[in-house]
Amino acid sequence: MGAPVGALRLRVQFAKQGQARFLSHSEFSRTLMISARRAGLPLEYAGAKMARMKISLSPPLPIGITSDGELVDFNLTGYVPAAEACALLEKAMPEGITPVRCRLMGADTKPVGRVIDTAVFTATFPASVGGGELADAVERFCEMSTLPYERVQPRRTRTVDIRGGVHDLQVLSAGAEGRVSLKMTVDDGIAGTIKPWEVVEVVAGLAGISREVWQEAEVNRAGLFARRGDRLVSPMDIGARRSGAAGGPRGVRY
């Protein structure tokens, strides 16, 4: 981490697995900030005293859901090779949170929180759920043009069109363990959020699967994306700093 080269953004993709899935969004954010400090990255802060670390996070992940692709931007004050940052972060992270990929971005790149609008989730059901009954339910779900869903939140209850927020829904054939999965591409981020459990609840309802059974499903956020027409683009591939990731100016580290 050498001579200051102006503001840089380090975009990191994390896997959040194991017991780390029980961390709330604010706990996850705190975990990332403490880990980044422990890693010794040249972090940028806002404000002179009681400074706040400048970071941008992907949309909140509900407690209990694992993820292969949580995304975070750390603003840096100096250069550090992406691979080195990845290694330092890996050492500083607690069990269950692993940096998968790091990439340096230009200072003018939009923060990750303002790019993401879509997420892909998988929900793997207990072995007692058959693929046939789920496939029929998915077909009926996709045929609908709207599907009102009553979202109950601590302070208000409102009705959302869950169908409008689901862009793709597929049943994945049973894997080695004989468990069938639902793969869903849903709004998540700046365009609004459809929660995976809401889709699971509605589809399971259409398939006649009881609450006790569908609540046993294991949900995973497989990826976060920005929609470009019909394409899903990973924020890891948007606005990467060409020279930085490859080498960039090197000087005295840390």
Classify residue 109 as exposed, middle or buried by CB count within 10 Å of its CB (0-12, 13-18, 19+): buried
Gyration radius of the chain's alpha carbons? 20
Residue 65 Cβ vs other proteins, minimum distance, rounded to whole Å: 10
Cα–Cα distance measured from residue 153 to residue 101, given in angstroms and rounded to the nearest whole number: 34
Contact by Cβ (8 Å): 125, 213:
yes
Nearer CB in complex with other proteins: 26/146: 26
Closest CB to other proteins among 43 and 119?
Answer: 43
Q: Who contacts 34 (Cβ-Cβ below 8 Å, separation ≥6)? A: none
**Closer of 49 and 231 to other proteins (Cβ):** 49
| Separation between Cα atoms, residue 110 and residue 107, nearest integer Å | 8
- Smaller CB distance to other proteins: residue 95 or 108? 95
Alpha-carbon span 105 to 248, nearest angstrom:
12
Closest approach, Cβ 89 to other proteins, in A, equals: 12
Supply the minimum distance, in Å, between the C-beta of residue 36 and other proteins.
8
For other proteins, the closer of residues 15 and 206 by Cβ is 15
CB atoms within 10 A of CB 51: 11
Taking the complex as a whole, the smallest distance from the CB of residue 68 to other proteins amounts, in Å, to 19
Q: How far is the CB of 227 from other proteins (least distance, A)?
A: 31
Task: Show the CA angle centred on residue 172, arms to residues 168 and 177, nearest 5°.
Answer: 150
For other proteins, which is the closer residue by CB, 30 or 253? 30
Which stretches within 62-106 are classed as H helix?
A: 82-92
Instruction: Determine if residue 5 is left, alpha or beta; phi over 0 gives left, psi from -120 to 50 gives alpha, anything else beta.
Output: alpha
Residue ranges binding other proteins (CB under 8 A): 18-19, 22-24, 26-27, 30-31, 34-35, 37-38, 43, 45, 48-51, 63-64, 92, 94-96
Tell the smallest beta-carbon distance from residue 31 to other proteins (Å): 6
Structure tokens at 123: 């929900």
**Residue 176 tokens, joined:** 């080695």
The nearer residue to other proteins, 19 or 173, going by C-beta atoms, is 19
Token pair in block for residue 187:
């709004």
Tokens of 24: 């709330």
Q: What is the closest distance, in whole angstroms, from the C-beta atom of residue 51 to other proteins in the complex?
A: 6
